[in-house]
Homo-oligomer: A and B are copies of this chain.
């Protein structure tokens, strides 16, 4: 899998901005590869990109139509199918982050066959993986972990990769979810891998590398999430991370999707992740905390970062508002 760029971002009839979260993430991190957006009637999301018809996008050189939106009801509507088929007829590949595979839609598969187009269902790994070997491998690795799902693990990892590159360090972001895959054009949705191969898929994703090269790996879920901790654990072991970044969202009142589960204590969460990571890398250590302060007022955010930093003795940043320089300072 290696997605062709630039992209036309397809928003369908997204009911609100949240439904376009995947597309928004791609535009935030890679505006230069997002040439335009295509909305259908009833779409209430906007990416701030130029509105384009499929024909205009093809003329402008768009190589891939990216379906980066949650669809109503979980099924792919007739209107979407028509749009996707037309994009293929105009010479584009199609990449989708939908739960249902676009490759399973008869009309889309037939059009791709006719026009030799690539269909990429980013949520669905297309290859198989070996069982993890646990063997120590060269290169340095950082993994973002979290107190919960959707607390900024991808943003933290991408910000660290960007900061490392700005300093001339060798770094590669490794995507483990659909949005990350659209951003860098490749990766593995580890939560969609067969359970026995979570760690093996992660080893494959960040193989041995130069001794001074950093793989900056996007984490998934949380060791404290009752639905997804198995994925987080397998990822932690497969990553063999030297360093962990703990990610947190301070206004969350309970674990995502689990009203009865409170957030873990930040310190306990750091210790549990370090302990689990040390099975495959005895030197694993958490070197910073990344907080998504979006829901806080600026003065509250500043205070929260300061207090968290003092309490845990670790550089504490918001990757979006403060940047991650204090964390990368520790990774020389």
The residues of A with any CB-CB pair to B shorter than 8 Å are 131-136, 190-196, 198-200, 223-224, 226-235, 237, 257-258, 260-261, 272, 275-276, 279-280
Contact = CB atoms under 8 A, between A and B. Distances in A.
A229 B224 contact: no
A132 B233 CA distance: 16
Contacts of A279: 224, 226, 229, 261
Contacts of A228: 131, 196, 199
A192 B228 CA distance: 16
17 contacts: A131-B228, A132-B227, A134-B226, A136-B260, A191-B195, A191-B196, A192-B195, A192-B196, A193-B194, A194-B194, A196-B227, A226-B237, A226-B279, A226-B280, A230-B237, A231-B234, A261-B279
A275 B194 CA distance: 25
A268 B206 CA distance: 30
Contacts of A231: 195-196, 198, 230, 234
A44 to B, nearest CB: 27
A132 B190 CA distance: 17
Contacts of A136: 260
Count this chain's copies in the assembly.
2
A227 B195 contact: no
Nearest to A227: B132
Given A133-B258, A260-B135, A234 B230 contact: yes
A258 B203 CA distance: 15
Contacts of A195: 190-195, 198, 230-231, 234
A148 to B, nearest CB: 13
Contacts of A276: 229
| A193, A194, A261, A272 pick with most chain B CB within 10 angstroms | A194
Contacts of A235: 230
B192 A227 contact: no
A322 B133 CA distance: 36
B233 A230 contact: yes
Contacts of A131: 227-228, 257
Nearest to A234: B230
A78 B231 CA distance: 38
Nearest to A193: B195
A50 B6 CA distance: 68
Contacts of A135: 260
